[in-house]
Amino acid sequence: MNQLSAIAPAPAGMGLPVLRERGQREVFCGLTGIVWLHRRIQDAFFLVVGSRTCAHLLQSAAGVMIFAEPRFATAIIGERDLAGLADANEELDRVVSRLIDRRPDIRMLFLVGSCPSEVIKLDLSRAAIRLNARFAPALRVLSYSGSGIETSFTEGEDACLAALVPELPASDEPTLLVVGTLAEVVEDQFTRLFTALGLEHVGFLPARRAAEMPPVGPNTRFLLAQPFLANTAVALAQRGARRIAAPFPLGVEGTTRWFQAAAAAFGISAAHCARTLEAPAARATAALARSRVTLAGTKIMFFPDSQLEIPLARFLTRELGMSLGEVGTPFLHREHLAEELAMLPAGTQLSEGQDVERQLDRCRSTAPDMVVCGMGLANPLEAEGFTTKWSIELVFSPIHGFEQAGDLAELFARPLRRRAALRV
């Protein structure tokens, strides 16, 4: 049953009701971000200080090949440490020294905190200062928390990038900074389009290598490429950078408006922008046609997971003709999502946070054609006859920009086609 009493009055300018829930959640912890961050920063290493559970999560989420040199690992806090018989700081220093001896190619080391109480007691930021005194400048050591108590799923990337911001070089040059991990193919496409627009000084955070992290300063304008970077945005503002308000570059409309916002912020004419974007936008629109046949008229519901839910709901309803059931998100950042919220259909039911049993009841009563949810909910929902899409796949796949719009639509169309084929 819906918690009607929990529906907050809609803030002025948004016009959409928000159901706020604080109950049992079904969301991965922030360690998950290591899976895509370690692929992006190619000379970084992520050392989780945690438990066997953390090691299992990373191992199964990342699916490391046995012959690959991994760029993440878990320093497991064992029973001896938990009993206080070992000095955890000395042990950590020993583990890091062994790692650096073995892997001199590592240029940036992230110490990543987790849930066990002994890890929480360990001050990883002080450990990072201590290790920096020993290894800098050849190696930079940073720390952040990926603990499930403090972070959910995509908040791990936010915590990592926020830790990186104070380390960025300073610059007074007018520059554009694109913030959020993107697939390399997407970054290359975006760079080409920014160049065609006339924007030469464009940096990406995080960069591919530790030594190439972009500069930041009072003349930096930044564009968020991901909707889950609240703390990173605050850290950038503290360095004097200013955010360019825009929807997120998902689908044709979101990508077009994202580039338009950047162009306007740097005084590039709307006419030149329109000419530059015309051909890729037309290609992307054509690429949506096949999926649209499958998706138009179907209803989708989002369980809160990746924080991508609202931009995806906007894309699916406006460009592919889907209707929206409940759109759940773990956190609703009204300022960063203002442009997205303004494009959702009137009456869209938003929910923030989760009380999973209640949400499952609402899912059953509204019977959507497709449910986007975490892996833990997908199998039980499939067993009940729902068609599901793992939200984690949307974070791992290249989905941003014009050239990926067709692939993004197909990620939703394929499960519906598969379900239809199974029914025959």
Question: Which residues form the interface with ligand SF4 (CB under 6 A)?
Answer: 29, 31, 50-51, 53-54, 57, 114-115, 146-148
Burial class (CB in 10 A: 0-12, 13-18, 19+), 224: buried
Contact indicator for 130, 93 with CB cutoff of 8 Å: yes
Nearer Cβ to ligand SF4, position 123 or 407?
Answer: 123
Sheet of strand 72-76: strand arrangement: 72-76, 44-50, 108-113, 140-145
Phi and psi torsions of 214, nearest 5°: -70, 155
For the bound state, the minimum distance from the C-beta of residue 114 to ligand SF4, rounded and expressed in Å, comes to 3
Nearer Cβ to ligand SF4, position 147 or 260?
Answer: 147
Contact indicator for 180, 226 with CB cutoff of 8 Å: yes
Strands 370-373 and 140-145: unpaired
For the bound state, the minimum distance from the C-beta of residue 316 to ligand SF4, rounded and expressed in Å, comes to 30
Nearer Cβ to ligand SF4, position 158 or 340?
Answer: 158
For the bound state, the minimum distance from the C-beta of residue 25 to ligand SF4, rounded and expressed in Å, comes to 11
Nearer Cβ to ligand SF4, position 78 or 215?
Answer: 78
Nearer Cβ to ligand SF4, position 31 or 312?
Answer: 31
Torsion of CA 131, 133, 137, 141, to 10 degrees: 30
Counting every residue, how long is the chain? 424
Longest dimension (CA), the chain: 69
Nearer Cβ to ligand SF4, position 54 or 413?
Answer: 54
Q: How many helices (H) and strands (E) does the chain have?
A: 18, 15
Nearer Cβ to ligand SF4, position 125 or 219?
Answer: 125
For the bound state, the minimum distance from the C-beta of residue 346 to ligand SF4, rounded and expressed in Å, comes to 38
Say how many CA atoms lie within 13 Å of 275 toward its Cβ.
7
Contact indicator for 253, 316 with CB cutoff of 8 Å: no
* CA dist 327 → 98, 149, 309 (Å): 47, 24, 7
Q: What are the residues whose beta carbons fall under 8 Å from the beta carbon of 323, sequence distance 6 or more?
A: 297, 298, 299, 300, 317
Which residue is at the shortest CB distance from ligand SF4?
A: 148
For the bound state, the minimum distance from the C-beta of residue 156 to ligand SF4, rounded and expressed in Å, comes to 9
Nearest to 58 by CA among 81, 37, 79: 37
Distance CA 158, CA 37 (A): 11
Phi and psi torsions of 85, nearest 5°: -85, -15
Q: What are the residues whose beta carbons fall under 8 Å from the beta carbon of 250, sequence distance 6 or more?
A: 308, 311, 312, 314, 315, 399, 400, 405, 408
Q: Is the peptide bond before 247 cis (omega within 30 degrees of 0)?
A: no
Nearer Cβ to ligand SF4, position 143 or 147?
Answer: 147
For the bound state, the minimum distance from the C-beta of residue 421 to ligand SF4, rounded and expressed in Å, comes to 36
For the bound state, the minimum distance from the C-beta of residue 68 to ligand SF4, rounded and expressed in Å, comes to 21
Nearer Cβ to ligand SF4, position 114 or 175?
Answer: 114
Nearer Cβ to ligand SF4, position 32 or 260?
Answer: 32
For the bound state, the minimum distance from the C-beta of residue 231 to ligand SF4, rounded and expressed in Å, comes to 18
For the bound state, the minimum distance from the C-beta of residue 61 to ligand SF4, rounded and expressed in Å, comes to 10
For the bound state, the minimum distance from the C-beta of residue 50 to ligand SF4, rounded and expressed in Å, comes to 5
Q: 3-state DSSP call for residue 46?
A: strand
∠ CA(63), CA(64), CA(69), 5° rounding? Answer: 170
Nearer Cβ to ligand SF4, position 125 or 171?
Answer: 125
For the bound state, the minimum distance from the C-beta of residue 29 to ligand SF4, rounded and expressed in Å, comes to 3
